[in-house]
């Protein structure tokens, strides 16, 4: 990074928190994993599940450049995507609708006039694989979905880490989602690679959970799935014809928490 002071904004979406940087003028050279990891550190930096840079992109309203809390480039982050849409509206880059580009391709999103509720369209999903009784799929990031009882009492860090680092998934990494069906929603807790800990929410994770739930239960048509996570409530809606999941939307809050500058 060429600058000595980095202006930033902090956003959270259902407890998933992110550091946002306006890099439309490409001032910040951000390929610096150790520095980014320190900025994301909750004791020695700002603190966040990741950091992202809003940049220009030809043919799109903006580009989302995202790094995990370990400072390394990440696959798609759903709640991060929703938060950067809210950030773009705050900056005046967009109004209530947008098409932006992320690491997994173009995304359409719509944001409420209030600026704090975002519906983000995710990539279509064709393939769901089985690992024993569990499910593996990619919703922009790779996810492992396991249905369980008493998820609120589960040791998500230990159990999630054991799956993430087993011989099947260790090299590329995978996010682990523990799901408990309730009467009117699914309760989800997630261990995230890159953060290497449990997070309060995971957007691509709850999306994977909703799709796996429909697949497991033979549900087709237009489906809406309310989700509760440690950080709040999210909603997934999609269309499933028995072969491919399309028109997938991740919906939920995205709010600015504070702003400041950090010395580099």
pTM beyond 0.85, yes or no: yes
- Residue that has been written with the tokens 């399309």 in this structure: 246
Question: For the domain 5-122+254-263, what is the CATH code?
Answer: 3.10.310.10
* pLDDT, average across residues 180-195: 96
Token pair, residue 22, equals 């306006």
HSE (side-chain half, CA atoms, 13 Å) at 47:
9
Average pLDDT estimate for 104-113: 95
Please give the pLDDT value at position 115: 77
Q: Which residue has the tokens 């006039």?
A: 113
- Asked, colleague to colleague, whether 5-122+254-263 and 129-249 share their fold, the answer is yes
Q: Active-site positions?
A: 77, 202
Sorted by sequence, the CB contacts under 8 Å of residue 246 that are 6+ apart come out as 124, 238, 239, 240
Helix axes 203-216, 78-91, angle to 10 degrees: 130
CATH class given for the domain over 129-249: alpha beta
Model confidence at 264, pLDDT cuts 50, 70, 90, reads confident
Report the mean per-residue pLDDT for the chain.
95
When pLDDT is cut at 50, 70 and 90, the band that residue 3 belongs to is: low
Q: At residue 210, does pLDDT exceed 90? A: yes
Label residue 82 by pLDDT band (50, 70, 90): very high
Asked if pLDDT for residue 168 goes beyond 80, the answer is yes
Where do the domains of the chain lie? 5-122+254-263, 129-249
Maximum Cα interatomic distance, the chain, rounded to a whole number of Å: 55
Q: Please determine, for residue 1, whether its predicted confidence score (pLDDT) is greater than 60.
A: no
* Average confidence (pLDDT) over 186-198: 95
**If you write DSSP's letter for every residue of 167-221 in order, what string do you get?**
TTTTTT--EEEEEEE-SSSEEEEEEETTTTEEES--HHHHHHHHHHHHHHTT--E
The whole-number pLDDT of residue 2 equals 55
Q: What distance in Å separates the CA atoms of residue 202 and residue 80, rounded to the nearest whole number?
A: 9
Stretch (H or E) spanning 83: helix 78-91
Q: Encode pLDDT of 117-161 as tens digits.
A: 999 999 999 999 999 999 999 999 999 999 999 999 999 999 999
List pLDDT tens digits, range 211-255: 999 999 999 999 999 999 999 999 999 999 999 999 999 999 999
């Amino acid at each position: 990074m060429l600058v000595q002071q980095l202006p930033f904004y902090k956003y959270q979406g259902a407890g998933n928190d992110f550091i946002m940087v306006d890099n439309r003028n490409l001032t910040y050279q951000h390929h610096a994993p150790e520095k980014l990891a320190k900025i994301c550190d909750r004791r020695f930096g700002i603190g966040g599940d990741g950091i992202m840079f809003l940049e220009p992109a030809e043919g799109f309203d903006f580009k989302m450049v995202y790094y995990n809390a370990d400072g390394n480039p990440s696959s798609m982050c759903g709640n991060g995507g929703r938060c950067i849409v809210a950030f773009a509206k705050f900056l005046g880059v967009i109004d209530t609708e947008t098409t932006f580009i992320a690491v997994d391709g173009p995304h359409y999103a719509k944001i409420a006039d209030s600026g704090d509720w975002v519906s983000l369209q995710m990539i279509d999903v064709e393939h769901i694989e089985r690992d024993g009784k569990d499910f593996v799929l990619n919703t922009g990031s790779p996810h492992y979905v396991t249905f369980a009882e008493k998820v609120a009492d589960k040791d998500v860090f230990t159990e999630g880490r054991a799956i993430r680092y087993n011989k099947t998934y260790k090299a590329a990494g995978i996010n682990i989602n523990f799901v408990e069906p309730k009467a009117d929603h699914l309760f989800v807790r997630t261990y995230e690679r890159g953060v290497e800990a449990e997070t309060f929410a995971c957007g691509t994770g709850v999306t994977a959970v909703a799709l796996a739930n429909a697949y497991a239960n033979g549900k087709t048509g237009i489906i809406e799935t309310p989700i509760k996570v440690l950080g709040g409530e999210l909603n997934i809606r999609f269309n499933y014809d028995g072969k491919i999941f399309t028109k997938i939307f991740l919906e939920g809050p995205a709010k600015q928490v504070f702003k400041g500058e950090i010395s580099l």
